[in-house]
Amino acid sequence: MAGKVKVLLVGAAFSADLHMDAYARCRDVAEVVAICDKDASRISALAQRYGLAGYEAFDDFGRAIDAVDCDLVDICLPNFLHHDVALAAFAKGRHVISEKPLATTTGDGERMVAAARAAGRHLYYAEDWLFAPALNKALALVEEGAIGKPLYVRARECHSGSHSPFTQTVRYCGGGSMIHLGIHPIGFMLSLKKNRWTELVAMTSGGGAANLVHRTMEGEDWAGCMMRFEDGTTALLESNYVTSGGMEDVIDLYGTEGCLHLDLTFSSAIQCYSIPGLAYSVEKAEITTGWSKPAVDEKFNLGYVSEIRYFMECCAAGVDARVGLRGEDGLEALRVVDLIYRSAREGVAIRNDRL
């Protein structure tokens, strides 16, 4: 492919802002030629925020995919719409980026992966943790032997609850905190271990009236899973909507000769005490008064900028992504989420019968 990758961005809300910030920093390899969203005001606000001009605007993804001359469709919509948009894009011969989770059901995920193969196009799975600079530095330290042989990993993503109304309903989200937040530590561990997991056992708060805090939410507001991998490594993966004070992305790695502790969201070099409060400190922080550690470049440090650049380079070269960032990896993460829910529901340990 010669020149820049031409992108149709489908969605103009929260996740689209994360991606658009990255596209604005990757203008040498990418050009957003069109944006689609039912709310025209969101499109214009997003474009103005990032200085985008000369783009087309659409309010229907089907019409946009049919009309726009693009190389790739970037899906930044609620979970339940990923499947429909991806299939329409593959039918038109476009490559696709799908935000996490890949879909709300494994059946929809399987159809997305199959459609990509049938069209001879690539389905890229947007797991931003795999591009977080701190996490990649930690993995480089592990690779050089700094903590000896890795034995145990503990990883979690937690905050006080999603702003999106779609996360309240299983039909639209696919579950609760595990599919919406825990998908990140799941995706990270599956990528790290090349999808070679052997066993898992899980518990969740149960959803609805059984939840710890969010009793009107259909899905669970807390979930935990223990996983074992083929090389003997074990991991504890957690997600919840009961954590106040801002989003926690925390990873701990323990080895035979040391350990590593990572904080992707509260590791700012800035400490601030404010009586009136800051305009912004960190994602999902309820208040910004008093002491806080305002993020320096949150979107970069969470991996979005490097993620988008990587996908643009893959698309331009016509190649698939590495393990952890392919459609099939997003599908495996979705399968694991389903098995976590089954383990919690039935109170059983589950072995991987796919090895």
pLDDT tens string 245-304: 999 999 999 999 999 999 999 999 999 999 999 999 999 999 999 999 999 999 999 999
344 pLDDT above the threshold of 80:
yes
With tokens 């502790």, the residue in question is 261
CA distances from 189 to 127, 288, 342 (A): 11, 33, 20
**Which residue spans within 147-245 are E strands per DSSP?**
150-158, 197-204, 222-229, 234-240
**What is the dihedral sign for C-alpha 242, 244, 246, 248?**
negative
The CATH fold of domain 5-128:
Rossmann fold (3.40.50)
pLDDT of residue 26: 98
Please state, in angstroms and rounded to a whole number, the distance separating the CA atoms of residues 48 and 57.
13
Please state the pTM of the whole predicted model. Answer: 0.97
What is the rounded average pLDDT of the residues 223-230? 98
**Confidence band, pLDDT 50/70/90 cuts, at residue 240:** very high
For the chain, what are the domain ranges? 5-128, 130-303+334-351
Q: What pLDDT digit, counting tens, does each position of 37-60 carry?
A: 999 999 999 999 999 999 999 999
3-state secondary structure of 189: helix
Asked if 112 and 231 count as a contact pair (C-beta separation under 8 A), the reply is: no
Answer whether residue 2 shows pLDDT above 80: no
Chain segment 92-142, per-residue pLDDT in tens:
999 999 999 999 999 999 999 999 999 999 999 999 999 999 999 999 999
d(C-alpha 222, C-alpha 153), whole Å: 19
Per-residue pLDDT at 95: 98
Stretch 208-222: mean pLDDT:
98
| Topology of the domain covering 130-303+334-351 | Dihydrodipicolinate Reductase; domain 2 (3.30.360)
Q: Quote the pLDDT of residue 163.
A: 81
